[in-house]
Structure 1
Amino acid sequence: MAYGSRQLKNHEKNYLTPDLEFAAIVHALKIWRHYLYGEKFEIFTGHKSLKYLFTQKDLNMRQRHWMEYLEDHQFTLSYHPGKANVVADALSCKNRGIVSSLALGEWNMVGTLNEFGVQMEVQDEKAYLGALIAMSKILSEILESQKYDQKVAFIKARMESSETMPGWEIHTNGSLKYQGRMSMPSDDSLRENVFKEFHHSVFVVHLGGTKMYQDLKRQY
């Protein structure tokens, strides 16, 4: 018993169902050619129209090309109803959009976890997943400094008491922001570090004090 599959190419996504089923047969013959060439075998398909494949006269160019490949093999093509093939039918004939979205979501999640090097440990039939949160050093320093800033603490207290503070918000990471910008604590050394970050960073084009001020103003 063997299983073979591949992802559809961009142009194949526009194929009609008969052509997709036909392409699946050709794919199977190609990957198992070393077993099938020179042997007599039988192919079962869940698409009834392919049963009359060899008696059809109006074939498109794609189908004619595939027929030339089929001529190298000795086989009979039989129709196998989905009701008689429940297991395979459940995998291949369900709503294609739902199945594909589930598969894509799973693979995207695996890819994301691999990028961050997250490891999963299974103990007593339970999975433990380690999460990694990436944060810039400056941001972490601001968050830490906000905890001890009196003005920040005063505004947070008023917000937590359900008092309306227009423009102010508490971010999910616990930081205090005003109109989407980070509230800078009254910490001279921290502010100097922020200035250095903006002034010396290789990713910043420094065109004078005004440009630097406008860049800082967007975030703080």
Structure 2
Amino acid sequence: MKQLRGFLGLTGYYRRFIKSYGSLARPLTDLLKKDSFVWSENAELAFNRLKEVLSSPPVLALPDFTKPFIIETDASGKGIGAVLMQQGHPIAFVSKTLSAKQQALSVYERELLAIIFAVKYWHHYLSMGHFIIRTDQKSLKHLLDQKITTPLQQVWLSKLMGYDFEIVYKQGIENGAADALSRVQSSSLMALSYSTFDASIWKRVQESWNSDQKLQTVLQNLKAGDTHPRYSWNGNALLRKGK
């Protein structure tokens, strides 16, 4: 029952993007009624259908690097969860179970750990510009202004140096998605994002070489027969470390 409430909390958080959400979820919401929890074929179908909807467009979207990213994080007694978002749409989900040592940390430290984990995990999205972190731990709003009291906090805070971000407080009742992810019972890291191949991306990459003076110099030298410790030219593409 507790796991079902968590799952419905996660799916319901994005219900505005899910057509006929109430009808899809009805077999599961009916199980929440008193003495009504009997897992049936209809419940299984609804469960799988909601998972499918939640992990595909228009709920799960592709990132737009011209717009700011938002991270929502949460920590429970046994795990941490986070959602990477833009304009209300999730870009990616991630959930991780805490070790026994991490579970013994204070609530403040577990919430801080959730932020550190999410920022480092999605570094490739966040390193280029300003982003917002939402947490239901109100004291973390003043993280950068607080006096660091433990060596552990000092180490963790140093991991955020170099990023351009602000921390915003969000009430726990409004942080349903990250809260549900933090309570997932699993012994491993779980992550989900949506990706698709854009046929025009290769052309855009090639065109970008023309406006990059450094790469132009590298290209000219490679085509002239010179070698480079990191770059190579295969006659069609400029490779960095073979990629």
Which structure has more relative contact order (CA 8 Å, sep 6+)? It is 2
Same fold (TM over 0.5): no
Structure 1 or 2: more strand by fraction: 2
Q: Please report the TM-score for the alignment, with normalisation by the length of structure 2.
A: 0.36
Structure of larger gyration radius: 1
Q: Please report the TM-score for the alignment, with normalisation by the length of structure 1.
A: 0.40
Structure 1 or 2: more helix by fraction: 1
